[in-house]
Amino acid sequence: MGLPVAPEVLVLEKRKVERNMKIKRYFRGKNAIITGAASGIGRAFAEQLAAIGTNLVLSDINMERLEMVKQALIKYPIQVVTSLCDVTKEKDVEELAKLTVGTFKTVDFLFSNAGTAMGGHIENISMIQWQTIIQINIIGMINCVRAFLPKMLEQQSGHIIVTSSICGSIGTGGLIPYTTTKFANSGFCEALYGECKGRGINVSIVSPFPLKTNLIEEAGIIIPPGLLDGISPEIAKAAINKGKQYYWENFCARKGLISGFCGGMEVDIAVENYLRKIANKKLYIFERWHGRFFQFVRGWWPSLYKRTLLLLGNRSIKLFDKAFEIAQSSVP
C-alpha cells in the first residue's frame, strides 16, 4: 500500500484536472487561425492547440520555419493548413480569411499574433521606421480583425486574441515605437470588447514580457546617426546583431523587479498559462503578476507609477547606449 495522500494535495489535483477539462472543452474540435505562427509565441500556440485537438490555419512570412512547425504537428489527429501571409497586406489577409472559411466553414479563434519590436532614442527614429512598425503591429492587427470579424459576427460567436505586450499597459522609454503600437493593440481590443461582446465575440489581450523567443532577430534597433557610417552593410549588420544580442540578454536577465520585469520566461510555460486564461475569457492576460500590479499602480498610485516610468525608461536607454557601444566596438 502506498503512503496516504494529504487531502490538500487531492484538492489541488482535482482542481488541475478540472482546469485541463475546461481548456479541452473550450478548444478541442474547434478551428483557429494564427498569424506569426512560424516562431515564438505563435509557434507555441500552434503546438499546444494541436495537442488539445484544435484544427489550425497557420500563417507567417517565413514559410521555411512555418513548414517546420507543420511537420512537428503531423502526429496529432487534426487538420493543419499553412499559408504565406504578410499581415501588412490587406489582400494577403483577405485571402487567408477565404482559405480559413473555405477549409473549416467556421472560425472559432483568431490569434492576431504577428508582430515586431523596435527601440532606441526617440530623436533618431525616422518616419520610415515609424511606418514600418505601425504597419506590422497596428495595421496588421486591423487587417486581421477586418477580415475575420464579419464571419464571427455572422456566426454570433468567436474569440479574438491579440498579442499585445506589457508595453501596451505601461509606457516604456527606449521602446517608444513599440509601446505606441502595443498601446494601440490594447486600446483597440478594449473597445472591440465593448462593442462586440454583446454580439457573441470574446476578446483577449495577451500581454507578455519578456519571453524567450526570436523577437530580437527581426527587431529594429535605431542606431544613432554616424555610428556605423562608411561600413559595409554586412559588417554593419553583424555589429548591429551583437548590440541587439547584448540588449536582449540583459533585458531578459533576472536581476530584480525592474531589471527584465523578473527575467525572460520560457515561451511554452507562458503559452500554457495564456490558454487557460483565454478559456476563462479573461480580457487582459499576463503570464506573471507584474502586469496586473502595474495596472493597479497606474490607477491607484500615480506618483509610484511615474517613478516606475522613469526607472524603466532610464534602464532601457542605458541598455541601448551600451548596445550601441558594443556594436561600434565590434567593427573590425
3-state secondary structure of 49: helix
Amino acid at 171: G
Cell of 183: 498601446
42, 119, 173, 174: which one binds ligand NAD (CB under 6 A): 42
Residues 3, 12 contacting (CB under 8 angstroms): no
How far apart are the C-alpha atoms of 241 and 228, rounded to whole Å?
13
Q: How many CA atoms lie within 13 A of 205 on its CB side?
A: 23
Q: Among residues 100 and 113, whose Cβ is nearest to ligand NAD?
A: 113
Quickly count: other Cβ atoms within 10 Å of residue 51's Cβ. Answer: 13
| Per-residue binder mask for ligand NAD (CB under 6 A), 171-210, x = binder | -------------------------------------xxx
Read off φ and ψ for residue 288, nearest 5 degrees: -135, 170
Pick 40 or 243: Cβ nearer ligand NAD: 40
The question of whether 178 is a catalytic residue gets the answer yes
Choice from 31, 35, 169, 186 touching ligand NAD (CB under 6 A): 35
Residues 6+ apart with CB under 8 A from 90: 143, 146, 147
Q: Which of 54, 143, 163, 308 binds ligand NAD (CB under 6 A)?
A: 163
Applying CB under 6 A, the span of 13-21, 30-38, 191-199, 296-304 interacting with ligand NAD comes to 30-38
By CB under 6 A, is residue 213 in contact with ligand NAD?
Answer: yes
User: CA 14, CA 214: separation in Å to the nearest integer?
Assistant: 36
Q: Report the half-sphere exposure of 140 (CA within 13 A, side-chain side).
A: 29
Span interacting with ligand NAD, options 48-56, 111-119, 169-177, 295-303, rule CB under 6 A: 111-119
Please state the separation of Cα 118 from the chain's center in Å.
Answer: 14
Binding piece for ligand NAD, criterion CB under 6 A, among 58-66, 220-228, 283-291, 303-311: 58-66
CB of 113 to ligand NAD, least distance (A): 5
Query: Residue 66 or residue 228: which is nearer to ligand NAD going by CB?
Result: 66
Helices 267-279 & 7-27 angle (0-180, nearest 10): 80
Q: Residues 49, 101, 107, 114: which binds ligand NAD (CB under 6 A)?
A: 114
The residues pairing with 33 across neighbouring beta strands, listed in sequence order, are: 57, 110
Binding of ligand NAD at residue 115 (CB under 6 A)? yes
Whose cell is 473597445? That residue is 191
Question: H/E element holding 158?
Answer: strand 158-163
What's the min distance (Å) between Cβ of 245 and ligand NAD? 14
Pick the closest to residue 33 from 95, 77, 89, 76 (CA basis).
95
User: Is the Cβ of residue 99 or residue 153 nearer to ligand NAD in the bound state?
Assistant: 99
User: Looking at 119, 120, 140, 171, which residue binds ligand NAD (CB under 6 A)?
Assistant: 140
147: left (phi over 0), alpha (psi -120 to 50) or beta: alpha
Per CB under 6 A, the list member of 55, 82, 113, 308 interacting with ligand NAD is 113
Q: Which window, 2-10, 39-47, 192-200, 303-311, contacts ligand NAD (CB under 6 A)?
A: 39-47
Site for ligand NAD in 75-104 (CB under 6 A): 85-88
Catalytically active residues are: 178
Residues near ligand NAD (CB under 6 A): 35-36, 38-42, 60-62, 85-88, 113-117, 136, 140, 163, 165, 208-211, 213-215, 217-218
